[in-house]
Structure 1
Amino acid sequence: MDAFQNTAQPDWDWWSRLWPTPGATLRDLGVTADDAVAEVPSGNGYFALPAARITDPNTVYAVDRDASLLDELAHLADQHAIGNVEPIRGDARDLASLLPERVDVVLVANTFHGVDDRTEFVREAVDALADGGRLVVVNWHDRPREETAAMGEPRGPPTDLRLSPDETEAAVRDAADVTLAERVELPPHHYALVFEA
């Protein structure tokens, strides 16, 4: 299967301009010490690694198709003595079958706009959740790309791929029996929707 549209892994410097405190962002999204988490796709761990610090000793499953990004994540985890991240190579569209257990949180950060079959993807993510689990979707606001700059340049997906919070909510709720628990603003360019299964 092809990768999701316009979801390439940016470098850490770029990420840090948008998310200077990823651990605090995760806490704002409700990630706690009691959670087992899957981030999909995880890239090289910008959110998976701080999630692992929050949830230790519970596991954070970092799922991605790109072996080189997962190798980088594993190296960074070793460097920082983070032992509860489990890299899993595979396609996000097969999430439930890739994970060895159901999780409390599935985090989908900055990729939902590029998912080709959102219905199937959401169903797979919800199938990966334990009872009462949460699907967290972080998205770019539906503003023109020229208005979402970082490091002096327009960033994020093309304007025509962006979804409003209402459009994201509709896509998720049409696909699965979930309840919108919370909308979270993530300035300057993002929002998150937290769904409960």
Structure 2
Amino acid sequence: MERFQNTGQPDWDWWGKLWPTPGATLRRLGVEPDRSVAEVGCGSGYFALPAARIVDPEPVYAIDLDEHLLDDLDHVAEQQRIDNVVPIHGDARELTAVLPERVDTLVIANTFHGVDDEARIVEQAFDALAPGGRLAVVNWHDRPRENTTVAGEPRGPPTDLRMTPVETEDAVCSAAAFELDRRVDLPPYHYALLFDR
């Protein structure tokens, strides 16, 4: 399995500068108690671990191509005594094969811009969601990379990979029968689109 384009994993301090309260961000994305979650490209768990606290005892399936990051996630979950995170080494292009069940909410954060087959990911997301489920796609705004700085350095994907909200909506809704519910601004540099299945 090859990694998606430009999906390197920054450290927790870096993410903390963008989202100091990841649990609050997840609630804005529609993550709710007692509803299962899958996160595509979970990395070391910056969103997966707080999601697990919100939905406990329901599972959070944390999916990534990098086994080392999943090991890190597993270690932190053990330290924090979080036992409803399920790390899955797998490819989002094969979601229905790697997930043990359909989920209520599927989060794709900071990954969609680097996907080489958007339609495949969206189709898999649709099939991986339970009826009435929600897809949340978090993307960097389509601003020049030099204008999105973290700790004084330009960060995020290359400018040419960034997608406008309209481009993201078109990519999702043209590939599967999702309906856009709403857009959520996530300052300073991100937005999310929430889709209903």
Coarse TM-score class (shorter-chain normalised) = over 0.9
How many residue pairs were aligned? 197
Percent of aligned positions that are identical: 66
Q: Distance in 2 between matches of 1:129 and 1:30?
A: 14
In the TM superposition, what is the alpha-carbon distance from 1:35 to its structure 2 partner? 1.1
* Structure 2 match to 1:115: 115
Matched residue of 2:126: which SS? helix
In structure 1, stretches of 5+ residues that fail to align are: none
> Hey, what does 1:193 align to over in structure 2?
193
**CA offsets 1:86-120 (integer angstroms, 9 cap, x no match):** 00111111111111110001100001000000001
Q: Tell me, yes or no, if structure 1 residue 135 matches structure 2 residue 119.
A: no
Other structure's SS at 2:183 match: strand
TM-score (norm 1): 0.99
C-alpha separation between the residues in 2 aligned to 1:144 and 1:65? 28
Offset at residue 189 of structure 1 (A): 0.1
Where 2:68 maps in the other structure, the secondary structure is: helix
Shift of 1:34: 2.3
Q: Counterpart of 1:153?
A: 153
Comparing 164-173 with 90-99, greater Cα deviation is found at 90-99
Aligned position for 1:66: 66
**For 1:101, what is the secondary structure of its paired residue?**
coil
Query: So what's the TM-score if we normalise by structure 2?
Result: 0.99
Query: Match of 1:84?
Result: 84
Q: How far apart, in 1, do the equivalents of 2:121 and 2:134 lie?
A: 15
Per the alignment, residue 20 of structure 1 pairs with 20
Distance in structure 1 (CA, Å) of the matches to 2:34 and 2:136? 16
1:3 is aligned to 3
In the alignment, what sits opposite 2:164?
Answer: 164
Runs of 4+ in structure 1 off by over 2 angstroms are none
Distance 1:186 1:99 in 2: 28
CA distance in 2, matches of 1:45, 1:18: 15
Does the residue aligned with 1:83 lie in a helix, a strand or coil? coil
Q: Which runs of 5+ in 2 are unaligned?
A: none
